[in-house]
Amino acid sequence: MSTTTPKQTLNRLTFIVAVQWMGATLGLPLLPLFLENRGGTPTIVGYIMAAFSIAGLASQFLTGRYADKHGRRPIMIIGLVVYGLASMTYLFPVNAPWFIITRIFQGVSAGAIEVASMSAVSALFDETERGSAISRIIAAQLGGMAFGPVAGALVSVRALGWAFFASGVVSLLAATQTFRTNLGDKAYDPSPLPKLRWSQQLIGAFIAAAGTGVLIGVYETCWSLLMKTHHATTLDIRLSWTFFCLPWVLLSGFGGWLADNANRRVVGTLGLVNGAAFLALYPHIHNPHMMVIFGAFESIGASLSVPSISSLMSEGSEHREMSRRQGLNATANTGALALSAAVSGYFFSINESFPFTIGAVVSGALALSTIWWWRNVKGNISTKKVSL
């Protein structure tokens, strides 16, 4: 039986998402070495790392459809349980290729948790408060990503399996709390799901998500390589990740306030253009310490714009439509990320500036196209001040 208020649910989801993302990223600095020690070649390691995103891409819309039909709680519980059990398999004494299965299950379950949590917030909070609530979930993701690699750096390669096992235990404990958490589900409706109502507003939000995915894909493949060519130390690379995430966490509340009170079209488009501009700039900054600082400034624009884009994506959706919208939004983002990451390495091998320049042009074009898609969309929701 669900007993939580919307704000209590938001607090629980914030904690669950932060822990899940911290667990997902704590091993990333050492995971390739861990897999190499298990006999993985560079090609096999690449396949294993990519399996996470590919699995999420293949499952996120189906997850959203199931959540609209049967409720978010089953999706959230199954996602946490599967993620927890999959994380524990890093202790198995098997060769590297077997961990492709682990990463697939982690990718599917992580996507399910994201879809369920974001659509739950959309269902529980009115549109005048939704931006602030969404910003809390996004801040939880970035907070976990900020501290996960740092915590993982304190763990040796030999102990990495136990670190993942511990994160799996926490995930299973979080699943037990979800049984009594209100995720905005209503009584089961056996009737067919209503069709998704496509609009320029919704298409623009998906394009914005894809533009963000292009940026992330370039960074995922080429950021560490670029910093290394600019003589960055391992510590510099780790700090760049943390320094990008921390301003996002600190300013997420203001980003949510903008989504609820400012013109979301303007805020969202400016944030996307800001990201494209910084992406084009990085190859020309040859001081690794300045790259870290510029990354923190780029994060400010992202933190202020993402809640506005998410608010536009969910606005006007019916109760049994929200999860599919969120699933499609995640699919657009993950698909663009995977494609961008796949081609960026090839472009980097030609010239270190190519992936950043090409990514900036593509993401910038997608950003500017939102001006047309959102031209008839009401930018402001309300001037009401919200405190969460």
| In the chain, % of residues over pLDDT 70 | 91
Task: Tell me: pLDDT of 360 over 90.
Answer: yes
How sure is the predictor about 385, in pLDDT bands with cuts at 50, 70 and 90?
very low
3-state helix/strand/coil string of 110-137: HHHHHHHHHHHHHHHCCHHHHHHHHHHH
* CATH number, position 319: 1.20.1250.20
- Summarize pLDDT for 77-127 with one digit per residue, the tens: 999 999 999 999 999 999 988 999 998 999 899 889 888 888 888 888 887
* Residue 387: inside a domain: no
| Residue 112 and residue 40 in one domain | yes
User: Which whole number is the average pLDDT over 328-351?
Assistant: 84
Tokens of 326: 């969120």
**In sequence order, what are the residues at sequence separation of 6 or more whose Cβ sits closer than 8 angstroms to the Cβ of residue 210?**
332, 333, 335, 336, 366
* Residue 385: inside a domain: no
User: Which whole number is the average pLDDT over 168-174?
Assistant: 87
| Residue 152 and residue 219 in one domain | no
**What mean pLDDT value characterizes the chain?**
83
| Residue 153 and residue 9 in one domain | yes
Quickly list DSSP for 232-253: --HHHHHHHHHHHHHHHHHHHH
| In the chain, % of residues over pLDDT 90 | 21
Provide the pLDDT for residue 280: 94
Tokens of 308: 């506005």
Distance of CA 216 to the CA centre of its chain: 10
Query: 321 and 68 in contact (C-beta within 8 Å)?
Result: yes
- Where a domain ends, among 131, 154, 185? 185
379's enclosing H/E stretch is: none
| Residue 140 and residue 226 in one domain | no
User: Which whole number is the average pLDDT over 141-162?
Assistant: 73
Provide the pLDDT for residue 386: 40
| Residue 99 and residue 178 in one domain | yes
- Summarize pLDDT for 1-14 with one digit per residue, the tens: 456 788 888 888 88
Task: Tell me: pLDDT of 364 over 80.
Answer: yes
| Residue 169 and residue 288 in one domain | no
* Residue 38: inside a domain: yes
* Residue 208: inside a domain: yes
How sure is the predictor about 240, in pLDDT bands with cuts at 50, 70 and 90?
confident
Structural domain of residue 43, as residue ranges?
1-185
Q: Using alpha carbons only, give the angle 223, 226, 231 rounded to the nearest 5 degrees.
A: 125
Domain count, the chain: 2
| Residue 213 and residue 70 in one domain | no
Cut 0.85: pTM above it: no
User: Which whole number is the average pLDDT over 47-72?
Assistant: 84
Distances, alpha carbon 325 to alpha carbons 311, 312, 341, in Å? 12, 11, 24
> By C-alpha distance, which of 295, 282, 279 is closest to 212?
279
* Residue 190: inside a domain: no
Task: Tell me: pLDDT of 379 over 60.
Answer: yes
Rounded Cα distance between 264 and 150, Å, is: 34
Lowest mean pLDDT among 70-84, 150-164, 200-214, 264-278: 150-164
Task: Tell me: pLDDT of 148 over 80.
Answer: no
Task: Tell me: pLDDT of 46 over 80.
Answer: no
* Residue 96: inside a domain: yes
| Residue 226 and residue 374 in one domain | yes
